């Protein structure tokens, strides 16, 4: 079988799997991702109040830290706000088991906000997998990233692994 024949076969298979005319009707387009589960009203109210409280903390920190080096760590707090805010806004809680995780995110965000306000952000020197955030240079939005730091039992080097959206893990050793 030639490459052209294989490519044509692949194209025809993909075309036959498409929705065709149904996807072009505005009232009939299926949502991607599918809608989440119905969040109980008590949980939804608690999460909404938590999002508002964390949002106020972030706004206050932005003012307090203006012109200070600590402002660069604000995205590490904002990622927790965004994770819960967007999950509620876009109906993306897909399992009731995710509700305690959302509450934990709000708690972590408030803890980080407190540490940042006190000038002692513990997560910057923590070991293991650490959720961090950064501001996208493309659109200015807050984006999550993860870093993993471990300190071997013997002296340096320290190994750091970073995962960012759209990239593969890269490990580097450095001397401390």
Domain contains 2: no
Surface-to-core class of residue 31, CB atoms within 10 Å of its CB (0-12 exposed, 13-18 middle, 19+ buried): exposed
Within this chain, do residues 115 and 132 fall inside the same structural domain, yes or no?
A: no
Residue 104 lies in a domain: yes
Place of tokens 């972030």: 58
Does 131 share its domain with 119? no
Mean pLDDT by 10 residues, the chain (176 residues): 74 63 72 90 98 98 95 97 97 96 98 97 91 95 87 59 55 42
Burial class (CB within 10 angstroms; exposed 0-12, middle 13-18, buried 19+) of 174: exposed
Domain range for 48: 36-123
Output DSSP code: residue 168.
Answer: -
Question: CA-CA distance, 160 to 174, in Å (whole number)?
Answer: 8
User: What's the structural domain count of the chain?
Assistant: 2
Within 18-171, residue ranges assigned H as helices are: 41-64, 75-89, 98-118
pTM above 0.85, yes or no: no
């Amino acid at each position: 079988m030639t490459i052209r024949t294989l490519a044509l076969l692949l194209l025809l298979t993909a075309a036959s799997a498409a929705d065709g005319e149904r996807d072009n009707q505005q009232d009939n387009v299926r949502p991607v991702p599918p809608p989440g589960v119905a969040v109980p009203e008590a949980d939804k109210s608690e999460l909404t109040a938590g999002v508002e409280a964390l949002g106020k903390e972030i706004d206050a920190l932005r003012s307090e830290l203006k012109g200070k080096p600590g402002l660069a760590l604000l995205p590490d707090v904002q990622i927790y706000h965004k994770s819960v805010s967007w999950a509620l806004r876009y109906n993306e809680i897909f399992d009731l088991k995710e509700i305690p995780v959302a509450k934990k995110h709000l708690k972590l965000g408030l803890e980080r906000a407190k540490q940042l306000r006190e000038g002692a952000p513990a997560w910057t020197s923590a070991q293991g997998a650490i959720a961090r955030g950064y501001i996208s240079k493309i659109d200015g939005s807050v984006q999550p990233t993860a870093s993993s730091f471990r300190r071997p039992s013997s002296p340096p080097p320290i190994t750091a692994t970073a995962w960012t959206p759209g990239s593969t893990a890269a490990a580097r050793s450095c001397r401390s």
